[in-house]
Amino acid sequence: MTTIETRMGENYFMIEFRNATKIYDNNVFALSNINLDIDRGDFIFLVGPSGAGKSTFIKLIFKEIDLTTGRIIVLGEDVTKVKRDRIPLYRRKIGMVFQDFRLIPTLNVYENVAFAMRVVEASEREIKKRVPMVLAMVGLSNKFKCFPSELSGGQQQRIAIARAIVNNPSLIIADEPTGNLDPETSLEIMKILNDINHAGTTIIMATHDKSIVDHMKKRVIAIEKGVIVRDEQRGRYGYED
């Protein structure tokens, strides 16, 4: 049983870091004694220079790597105690969006999004209902028969977002989702993510995009050398390029 102590109702945090430290084999402290709470429905920008610890932060939540010491708790579940055979079940509560889209090139748009539902053994009836719904949400209902190679970068990222939200996750982690996109397309992607957030989904987005962070005025968590140096509501990027 990995759920921590009984909590009253549904008021606990989405994510809690408790004295969380990650040391890699080369004795590098990627994260050092992090204590942090993320509320349900938060929109977080995770910022900092390359090598600061942002990727480690994300990988720990997604259970790609394990903490050295401390705890991470997601929706009341102590991630550090999740057994290997339960990781796929744990990950169902998280949708991932990547900079390089990671669409399956041999599947069309509909099939790419449906694939995420088939992984969790959704019924065909559910798939036929849900996939068109999320494609409409990202504005690409008319592209359902297209293959990734026939789409622009912005369209591919919209499909990646549709795939991330199709199983209705509580949390979306976006790792540099606008990194390969032009400024106008980046703002379109951010509008979609913002709408998803307004519907109640918590979003954590790692980014180097100063203009987006400053424009959106969301919570900003800045990491440098594995330590949180800034945690601001309606924050700014705060780094010179």
Q: How confident is the model at residue 209 (pLDDT cuts 50, 70, 90)?
A: very high
Which pLDDT belongs to residue 240? 64
- Local confidence band at 13 (pLDDT 50, 70, 90 cut-offs): confident
Q: Is residue 140, in this structure, part of any structural domain at all?
A: yes
Instruction: Kindly state the helix (H) or strand (E) to which residue 127 belongs, with its residue range.
Output: helix 124-137
pLDDT interval class at 207 (50, 70, 90): very high
Sign of the dihedral through C-alpha 95, 69, 221, 24: negative
- The confidence score (pLDDT) of residue 2 equals 39
Q: Using pLDDT thresholds of 50, 70 and 90, give the confidence band for residue 7.
A: very low
pLDDT at residue 177 greater than cutoff 70 = yes
Is the pLDDT reported for residue 103 higher than 70?
A: yes
Question: What pLDDT band is residue 241 in, cutting at 50, 70 and 90?
Answer: low
Whether 123 is in a domain gets the answer: yes
- Tell me if 194 is assigned to some domain: no
Which H or E element spans position 88? helix 87-91
Domains contained in the chain, number: 1
Phi first, then psi: what are they for 88, rounded to 5°? -55, -40
Q: CB under 8 Å to 117, separation ≥6 — which residues? A: 126, 127, 130, 131, 166, 167
- Mean pLDDT over each residue of the chain, to the nearest integer: 91
Is 21 inside a domain boundary? no
pLDDT for residue 208 is more than 80: yes
What is the extent of the structural domain holding 117?
A: 104-168
Is 96 part of any domain?
A: no
pLDDT at 33 over 60: yes
Any domain includes 162:
yes
Judge whether 131 lies within some domain: yes
Residue 6 has pLDDT above 80, yes or no: no
Query: Is residue 127 situated within a structural domain?
Result: yes
R_g (Cα) of the chain, nearest Å: 18
- The dihedral through the CA atoms of 61, 66, 72, 76 has a sign that is positive
- Cα dihedral sign, 77-78-80-86: negative
What pLDDT, on a 0 to 100 scale, did the predictor assign at position 11? 52
pTM for the predicted model, two decimal places = 0.90
